[in-house]
């Protein structure tokens, strides 16, 4: 079974993120879910993004790195939206990554030093009309990653919701979230 380091989105460590992690655990995987916001949880995305800006994106990345330090190198790094930043950073720069799950976010690989590491499989998931994922460059970055990496897959879901896989938020889309979870579990099963 795989060992996963899962980073929350800009709203914080919500009940929906915890529930997603618990679903992976029920499937037999080990999942670590650090709180990058030190207990802060926000009701809406704008407040959460404001908090991330206030503490600084470098702080988010540093807390992600710190969460990985005590864990083995052979991890699957996963993140929702904002959590993609530390997940992608670690997958690209920490030796021994087993894989990556970039959920509703993706940045150009050049942000973290260049090409995607060879032999590190990655799945990217997002809605095709999500104003954040599709409208702010993440989808373009995802397509570029898939085009340059043989072990990369991009899954697009119809809709315009951001954070659609978090069951505790109004943006939750049960059908898309169920399919995402099925695909994530199949991916993890290939790594464990």
Q: Say which CATH number the domain at 171 has.
A: 3.40.50.1820
The per-residue DSSP string of 130-149 comes to -TTTTTSSHHHHHHHHHHH-
Q: What pLDDT is stored for residue 114 in this prediction? A: 84
CA distances from 33 to 8, 171, 184 (A): 8, 21, 16
What is the 8-class DSSP label of residue 48?
Answer: H
Q: Which two tokens stand for residue 106?
A: 């993706």
Domain count, the chain: 1
Buried b (16+ CB within 10 A) or exposed e, 17-31: bbebbebbeebebbb
pLDDT digit string (tens) for 131-174? 999 999 999 999 999 999 999 999 999 999 999 999 999 999 99
Q: What pLDDT is stored for residue 192 in this prediction? A: 67
- State the pairing for strand pair 76-80/30-32: unpaired
Low-confidence ranges of the chain (pLDDT < 70): 192
Which residues form the domain of 61?
3-191
Q: What pLDDT is stored for residue 149 in this prediction? A: 94
Angle at which helices 57-69 and 45-55 cross, to 10°: 80
């Amino acid at each position: 079974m795989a060992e996963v380091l899962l980073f929350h989105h800009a709203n914080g460590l919500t009940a929906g993120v915890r529930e997603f992690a618990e679903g992976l655990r029920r499937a037999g995987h080990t999942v670590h879910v650090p709180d990058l916001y030190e207990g802060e949880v926000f009701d809406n995305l704008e407040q959460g993004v404001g908090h991330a800006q206030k503490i600084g994106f470098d702080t988010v990345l540093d807390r992600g790195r710190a969460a990985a330090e005590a864990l083995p190198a052979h991890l699957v790094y996963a993140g929702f939206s904002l959590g993609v930043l530390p997940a992608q950073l670690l997958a690209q720069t920490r030796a021994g990554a087993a894989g990556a799950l970039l959920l509703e976010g993706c940045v150009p690989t050049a942000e973290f030093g260049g090409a995607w590491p060879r032999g590190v499989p990655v799945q990217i998931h997002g809605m095709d009309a999500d104003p954040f994922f599709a409208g702010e460059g993440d989808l373009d970055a995802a397509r570029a990653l898939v085009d340059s990496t043989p072990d990369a897959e991009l899954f697009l879901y119809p809709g315009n919701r951001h954070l659609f896989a978090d069951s505790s938020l109004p943006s939750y889309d049960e059908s898309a979230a169920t399919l995402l979870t099925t695909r994530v579990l199949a991916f993890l099963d290939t790594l464990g």
